[in-house]
Structure formats: structure tokens, C-alpha cells
């Protein structure tokens, strides 16, 4: 081999070695880079694992430990599901009663919605034989996320704020009536004896049970335990579960206390104090809309549907008193049994949409007084069913009761009745006369004018709707005026 060939061969070998070394270095660099990336990824995953462990209450670092902890969390959720629904499962039993002494019913305090749910859940866990308060666990989902969704971080923040507030809440309880030894001076409030007591001993969150750990304060023991005799009020839990507003919850208790009388009157300022609204709603119109009307709509779903009257005292301006009127809860129910031969169609129709028995009684009384005929009830139900199917209203029963009670559909019903008679359709003959109080006729006219359904005067409206259809204006021996149509 010549020197030139040897030199070329040596150069090729050196080049190959260089490439090999370079390739080795490049491979090592890539491996180091991959290892570095893998290490960083592992660190990130490990950091995430640690954070996840911390979120569930531990500082574990090993992935296997994380799996073990997650299995515990899974078991906790299962335990939570077992605890969840205690309040609602017990509520299916109509005999489940909640009891409070009347001085607690009439105490001055306000609840938020979450506080009301917690209070109701705690009351439901008191047993008749209890002589002292016990620590109880209330599942989180029983207070928040009632639809069954998983509680969010915002839910837990609300829960923490609620626990902070309710543990510092104090009740003002009157222990004696205000003395009447002397005449009060202007601007002076005769307070009488009272006591301010804390409601809760403590409230905390237990991640082990996914529940609130709570206990009543011993100061309220005499107001909640061993109430076998004396001055107390008891309500069915199933009725309270129909309520959403905390004010409706309080008003239900206040009216239930006087359930056997069928009425109760409060001063406006007195009722606002009882509900913890002393500084709210300076205008009565807003108090009527935000509190009274909401409570009226919600209690219409219970056995305590009510009407209320606003009273103006002599020499004073504005509404001073509110009189609640409702069906007496004690005594034999005068309504016929569902499905009986004597049950009217309008009554069966109201029951079919789950209107409360108290509201059905109130409708029956208005029919007996001649405010409207039974067909008007069927007309209202049919019309509002169409609106519900169109998605314009949510709860049918409440809207039906409200429309019947306030005669919202009466002008429209009478127009339909007039058209039906004008085309020669025979109307069922009735032995009893059809009677509409003049005050109700005037209310129907005012509503039609407000909704711009008519521009005629009241006299023209009366002539077209009533007198032209055979009604006559009559007065009874008490001087009460009405339009009457007597059938043959």
C-alpha cells in the first residue's frame, strides 16, 4: 500500500471516529436533555400530587400514598352520600314534627337562606327524649347544592361565612309583657323584660365526614328540649321544606302559633323587628313586595295559605298594622275526600295540580259568597297550564291560587262567556243565582284599564259585561251592592 493510500485511510478512520464521538456526544446531550425534561415533569407531577394531598388534608409525598388518600376521599364521598338526604328522607314522614317554645318563635332575629336551612336541619335531629343537646353532623349538600351538584369552592366560602355569622348571632327573647303602670312618653318604647342569648355553641367543618359539626347553645335548651307540655308550637317538617325564603320560614312559624284562631295581627314595625328587618325596607311598598307577597306565594303551597289586610290607624299616615287571615288548622276538615262522588270538578282540578287544602277551602268560600262561579276556576287552570307548557311560568299551583284570589282572569273569562252565549251555545242552567259583588266588578274594571284592555267608562263596562247579559243591580238588607243573574 502506497503512502498516499495509507494517509487517506488514516484520515477516513479519524473522520469516522470524530463522527462517532460527535454522535455519542449528541446522543448523550439528547439523553441528558430528555432526562432533564423528564425530571422536571416528574417534579411538576410530584408537586401536583403534594398539592392534591394538601387539599384533602395531608402533606403526603408518595404517589402510592396519594392513591390511598384518594380512595379515602372516595369513601368519604360515599359516606357523605349515606348522610346526605337525612333531612329530606325523614321529611317524607308527615309525622316528623319540629317543636319550639313560643317565646323562641316570637324572638327577634333574622336568618339568611343558608342559616335557615341549617337551623331547620338541626331542629329535625332533636328527639323527644333528648334532655341535652348533642353534637350533630349536617352533610354539606343538605345546606348547599340541594340539586345534587358537587359543591363548588364558592359554596364552601359561603358556608364558612355562614358559620361565622350564625355562631355570633344572638336572639332577643321577651321574658315578660311590657308594664302598663304609666303612660308612655312620646318616642319612648316600653321594652319589658328581655334576654339576649346566643343560638349556637359552635359550628365547624369536618373534612372526615364532609359535613358541618354543630351544636346548639345550652342557653336555648329550655326553648327546644322536653317540650311535652306548656306553651309551644309544633310544625310538620314536610311543610317547611316547601319554603325557600327565610322570611317565609319565620312567618310560617308565627302564623302556626295562632293556627287555631285563623288570624293574627302585627304592627308593621313589630313584624319587621321579629324578622330582623328593622333597618330594611323603609318604604312599606317594598316590604309588601319583597317579604309579604313572597311569603304569601310560598305559603300557598303549604297548609297555611293566607290573605293579609293593611290597616291604617286613626290619626296616623301610612300602613300601621297587618292582619293575616288563614283557615283554622284545628277541627275537622270540611272538604270532601278526593275522588268521592260529591267532590266538585273544580276541587279535583285544584288537587290535581297540588294546591293546598287550605287554599282550596279559601276558593270554596269565595264561590259560596258568589265572587265567581266554579267554571271560572277551571278556566284559570286551563289558561295557566298553557303558559306553563310555553315555559312562561314555573310553579302552576301558586300562580293559579294567586290568579283566582285576585280575579286576574275574571274579565277575560266573562268576555269568553259572552261570546259563547252569543253563538247560541246552551249554558247549563243553575238553580242558584250568579252573584258578583260590586267591589269585585270594580276591581275587574280597574285591572282591565290598567292592562289597557278597555277605554270605556265603568258604567259602559258594567252595561256591556253584566247588564247586557241579564244581570241586575241589587242590594241586600245590609246595603251591600252586587250584580245578580237569576236563572230559571
Give the model confidence (pLDDT) of 140-149 as tens digits. 888 885 555 6
Q: What is the pLDDT of residues 109-124, one digit of tens each?
A: 888 989 999 999 999 8
pLDDT confidence bin for 479, thresholds 50/70/90: confident
Q: Which of 327, 349, 329 lies closest to 338, judged by CA?
A: 349
Q: What is the pTM of this model?
A: 0.51
d(CA 97, CA 239): 10
Q: Which of 215, 221, 238, 245 lies closest to 87, judged by CA?
A: 238
Q: What is the pLDDT of residues 66-107, one digit of tens each?
A: 333 433 444 344 343 334 345 544 434 444 789 999 889 999
CB 138 within 8 A of CB 118: yes
3-class secondary structure, 29: helix
Average pLDDT over residues 187-208: 79
Q: What is the pLDDT of residues 410-458, one digit of tens each?
A: 888 887 877 766 655 555 555 567 788 888 888 888 888 887 777 888 8
Strands laid side by side in the 211-216 sheet: 136-139, 211-216, 200-206
Phi, psi of 10 (to 5 degrees): -65, -40
pLDDT confidence bin for 209, thresholds 50/70/90: confident
d(CA 256, CA 262): 9
DSSP count for the chain of H helices, then E strands: 20, 13
pLDDT confidence bin for 248, thresholds 50/70/90: very high
Average pLDDT, the chain: 75
Average pLDDT over residues 160-165: 92
pLDDT confidence bin for 191, thresholds 50/70/90: low
Residue 75, pLDDT score: 38
Give percent above pLDDT 90 in the chain.
22
Mind listing the domains of the chain with CATH numbers?
Answer: 44-83 (no CATH), 85-177+192-241 (1.10.10.10), 243-330 (1.10.10.10), 332-406 (no CATH), 424-488 (no CATH)
Element (H, E) at 196: strand 194-198
Lowest mean pLDDT among 36-40, 109-113, 158-162, 271-275: 36-40
Q: Which long-range contacts (CB under 8 A, 24 or more apart) does 196-202 make?
A: 196/170, 196/171, 196/172, 197/170, 197/171, 197/173, 198/167, 198/168, 198/169, 198/170, 198/171, 199/109, 199/119, 199/166, 199/169, 199/170, 199/171, 200/166, 200/167, 200/169, 201/133, 202/167
Residue 192, pLDDT score: 67
Residue 60, pLDDT score: 43
Residue 383 scores a pLDDT above 70: yes
Lowest mean pLDDT among 167-181, 295-309, 350-364: 167-181
Average pLDDT over residues 259-264: 88
Q: Cβ atoms within 10 A of the Cβ of 145, count?
A: 14
3-class secondary structure, 337: coil
Residue 471, pLDDT score: 87
Q: Which of 15, 349, 58 lies closest to 208, judged by CA?
A: 58
d(CA 120, CA 237): 8
Residue 18 scores a pLDDT above 50: no
Q: Cβ atoms within 10 A of the Cβ of 270, count?
A: 14
Q: What is the pLDDT of residues 346-356, one digit of tens each?
A: 888 888 888 87
Query: Rounded to the nearest 5 degrees, what angle is found at the Cα of 169, between the Cα atoms of 165 and 171?
Result: 160
Residue 268, pLDDT score: 93
How is residue 424 written as a grid cell? 247560541
Residue 202 scores a pLDDT above 90: yes
Residue 22 scores a pLDDT above 80: no
Residue 52, pLDDT score: 39
Q: What is the pLDDT of residues 302-360, one digit of tens each?
A: 889 999 999 887 777 788 999 999 988 753 334 455 555 557 888 888 888 888 776 78
Q: How many CA atoms lie within 13 A of 475 on its CB side?
A: 4
Amino acid at each position: 500500500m502506497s503512502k498516499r493510500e495509507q494517509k487517506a485511510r488514516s484520515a477516513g478512520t479519524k473522520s469516522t471516529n470524530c463522527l462517532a464521538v460527535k454522535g455519542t456526544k449528541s446522543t448523550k446531550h439528547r439523553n441528558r436533555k430528555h432526562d432533564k425534561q423528564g425530571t422536571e415533569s416528574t417534579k411538576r407531577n410530584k408537586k401536583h400530587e403534594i398539592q392534591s394531598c394538601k387539599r384533602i388534608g395531608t402533606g403526603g409525598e408518595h404517589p402510592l400514598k396519594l392513591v390511598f388518600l384518594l380512595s379515602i376521599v372516595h369513601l368519604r364521598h360515599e359516606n357523605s352520600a349515606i348522610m346526605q338526604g337525612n333531612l329530606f328522607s325523614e321529611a317524607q314522614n308527615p309525622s316528623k314534627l319540629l317543636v319550639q317554645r313560643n317565646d323562641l318563635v316570637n324572638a327577634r332575629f333574622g336568618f339568611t337562606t343558608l342559616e335557615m336551612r341549617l337551623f331547620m336541619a338541626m331542629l329535625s335531629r332533636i328527639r323527644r327524649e333528648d334532655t341535652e343537646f348533642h353534637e350533630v353532623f349536617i352533610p354539606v349538600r343538605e345546606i348547599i347544592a340541594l340539586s345534587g351538584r358537587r359543591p363548588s369552592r364558592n359554596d364552601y366560602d359561603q358556608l364558612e361565612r355562614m358559620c361565622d355569622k350564625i355562631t355570633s348571632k344572638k336572639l332577643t327573647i321577651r321574658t315578660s309583657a311590657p308594664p302598663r303602670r304609666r303612660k308612655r312618653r312620646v318616642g319612648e318604647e316600653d321594652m319589658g323584660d328581655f334576654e339576649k342569648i346566643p343560638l349556637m355553641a359552635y359550628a365547624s367543618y369536618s373534612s372526615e365526614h364532609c359535613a358541618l359539626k354543630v351544636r346548639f347553645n345550652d342557653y336555648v335548651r329550655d326553648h327546644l328540649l322536653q317540650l311535652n307540655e306548656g306553651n309551644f308550637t309544633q310544625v310538620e317538617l314536610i311543610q317547611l321544606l316547601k319554603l325557600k325564603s327565610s322570611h317565609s320560614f319565620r312567618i310560617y312559624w308565627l302564623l302556626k302559633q295562632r293556627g287555631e284562631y285563623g288570624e293574627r295581627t302585627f304592627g308593621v314595625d313589630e313584624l319587621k323587628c321579629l324578622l330582623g328587618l328593622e333597618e330594611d325596607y323603609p318604604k312599606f311598598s317594598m316590604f309588601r313586595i319583597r317579604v309579604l307577597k313572597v311569603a304569601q306565594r310560598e305559603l300557598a303551597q303549604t297548609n297555611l295559605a293566607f290573605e293579609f289586610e293593611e290597616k291604617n290607624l286613626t290619626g296616623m299616615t301610612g300602613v300601621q298594622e297587618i292582619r293575616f287571615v288563614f283557615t283554622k288548622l284545628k277541627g275537622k276538615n270540611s272538604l270532601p275526600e278526593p275522588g268521592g262522588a260529591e267532590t266538585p270538578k273544580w276541587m279535583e282540578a285544584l288537587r290535581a295540580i297540588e294546591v293546598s287544602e287550605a287554599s282550596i277551602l279559601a276558593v270554596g268560600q269565595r264561590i259560596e259568597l258568589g265572587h265567581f262561579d266554579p267554571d271560572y276556576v277551571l278556566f284559570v287552570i286551563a289558561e295557566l297550564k298553557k303558559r306553563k307548557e310555553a315555559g312562561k311560568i314555573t310553579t302552576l299551583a301558586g300562580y293559579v291560587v294567586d290568579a283566582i284570589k285576585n280575579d286576574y282572569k275574571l274579565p277575560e273569562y266573562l268576555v269568553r262567556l259572552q261570546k259563547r252565549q252569543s253563538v247560541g251555545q246552551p249554558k247549563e242552567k243553575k238553580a242558584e243565582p250568579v252573584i258578583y259583588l260590586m267591589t269585585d266588578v270594580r276591581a275587574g274594571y280597574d285591572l282591565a284599564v290598567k292592562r289597557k284592555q278597555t277605554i270605556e267608562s265603568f258604567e259602559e263596562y258594567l252595561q256591556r259585561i253584566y247588564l247586557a247579559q241579564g244581570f241586575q243591580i241589587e242590594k241586600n238588607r245590609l246595603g251591600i251592592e252586587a250584580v245578580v243573574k237569576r236563572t230559571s
